[in-house]
Amino acid sequence: MKLKYYLLEKRTNNVIIVDIQPMYKSHIYMNIDMFKFVNFLQEQKKLLYFYNGPETVGSDKKHDIIEWLMKCSDYSEILYNKLTRETIWCDKGYGFFRSWMDMGADEGFIKKAVRFMLDKKVNDSREINPEEWKENFPNDWIYEFEYDNIYLPDIPINKLKQFSGSYIVGGGKNECLKEIKILISIFNIKYTEVKEFIY
């Protein structure tokens, strides 16, 4: 769906947000009008808010993100109620597919690899013998994958499935946002990007 179409129709939807938080504000401010963003959030239905928090690599806590968004909205009561009552917050973990992504692994291969791991009931690619990887993926497997793993993040898939058909926003578009898009596509969860709110 084109953003222009969304603006004309003013359609409301559930929204998946990825890493729109203070620790990335220097990148966010270059790409996203935060006043427009918080107004957008106010108009939508339920929110699933992924962030990097103290449990992973970030210092932002949920209340830090809420306070930052509230400042951007001039302390809108509607936004406060949405963020505190209608939002699922998830400290998502960091870099679960990034090692292979950064080594140039094809997105399609990563999806197949994760499905293979799910079939084997393992959470870490190192739990599968390298010879088995080579045998099953002879055209995709490289030696470096043996020592730099991917893993399944501690993200509740049942909650993600409730957001199938949602808008998705956030960043970085080639890093954490891409990881989430790969993850949700593995489970056939549909989404529509709102490009105005992607960095």
* Whether residue 91 is found in the same domain as residue 164: yes
Residues 21 and 66: beta-carbon distance below 8 Å: no
What pLDDT digit, counting tens, does each position of 160-197 carry? 999 999 999 999 999 999 999 999 999 999 999 999 99
Residue 8: the pLDDT is 42
* Whether residue 90 is found in the same domain as residue 110: no
Q: Is the pLDDT of residue 5 over 70?
A: no
Q: In what order do the strands lie in the sheet with 166-170?
A: 87-91, 47-51, 15-18, 166-170, 191-198
As a whole number of angstroms, the longest Cα–Cα distance in the chain is 57
> Residue 101 domain-assigned?
no
* Whether residue 71 is found in the same domain as residue 164: yes
Residue 56: the pLDDT is 79
User: Which CATH number covers residue 171?
Assistant: 3.40.50
> Residue 151 domain-assigned?
no
Task: Map tokens 């993926």 to a residue.
Answer: 137
* Whether residue 174 is found in the same domain as residue 90: yes
> Residue 125 domain-assigned?
yes
- Rounded to two decimals, the pTM is 0.91
Residues 159 and 48: beta-carbon distance below 8 Å: yes
Mean pLDDT of 118-142: 97
* Whether residue 116 is found in the same domain as residue 136: yes
* Whether residue 171 is found in the same domain as residue 137: no
Mapped onto helix, strand or coil, the DSSP state of residue 70 is helix
Q: Of 89-98, 115-124, 169-178, where does mean pLDDT reach its minimum?
A: 89-98
* Whether residue 22 is found in the same domain as residue 80: yes
* Whether residue 87 is found in the same domain as residue 18: yes
What pLDDT digit, counting tens, does each position of 34-79 carry? 999 999 999 999 999 999 998 878 789 999 999 999 999 999 999 9
Residue-number span of the structural domain to which 113 is assigned? 106-146
> Measuring CA to CA, how many Å separate 113 from each of 46, 98, 124, 138?
31, 13, 11, 12
* Whether residue 7 is found in the same domain as residue 48: yes
Number of domains in the chain: 2
Band of residue 199 on the pLDDT scale cut at 50, 70, 90: very high
Q: Is the pLDDT of residue 156 over 50?
A: yes
Ramachandran angles phi, psi of 195, nearest 5°: -65, -25
C-alpha–C-alpha distance, residues 7 and 164, integer Å: 21
What 3 state SS string does 73-122 have? CCCCHHHHHHHHHCEEEEECCCCCCHHHHHCCCCHHHHHHHHHHHHHHCC
* Whether residue 128 is found in the same domain as residue 168: no
C-alpha–C-alpha distance, residues 194 and 63, integer Å: 25
* Whether residue 170 is found in the same domain as residue 130: no
